[in-house]
Amino acid sequence: MLSALAVFGWTHNVYYTAMLGLTDFSSVKTTGPFKVGVKWIRTSEHDNEVIVFYPIDEIEYEEHIEQRNAPWLNKPELICA
């Protein structure tokens, strides 16, 4: 039974990847007064790397996006380079 569920899950994943393609979420339409902020944190105790996403004001986003964002998030063409 468990292997049948695993096969179904794998088939579901392959089907939607083939039909929709890999996504970078560029087609997701968001609404509201906020943009998404991102912060990369590395903990000193256990040396874990964490990415935190949080809502920020649109004006702050426009003013600080170049300084506070990873280069590959600002320029998606760097991902495929």
Give the whole-angstrom CA distance, residue 65 versus residue 68. 5
Q: Residues 43-71: pLDDT tens digits? A: 888 888 888 888 887 777 777 766 766 65
Give the whole-angstrom CA distance, residue 80 versus residue 24. 11
Neighbouring residues of 24: CB distance < 8 A, sequence distance ≥ 6: 76, 79
SS3 at position 30: coil
The domain locations on the chain are: 2-80
Query: Distance between the two ends of the chain, CA-based, in angstroms?
Result: 43
pTM to 2 decimals?
0.38
Side-chain half-sphere CA neighbours of 33 within 13 A: 3
Q: Residues 4-22: pLDDT tens digits? A: 899 999 999 888 888 877 6
Q: What pLDDT shows up at residue 8?
A: 93
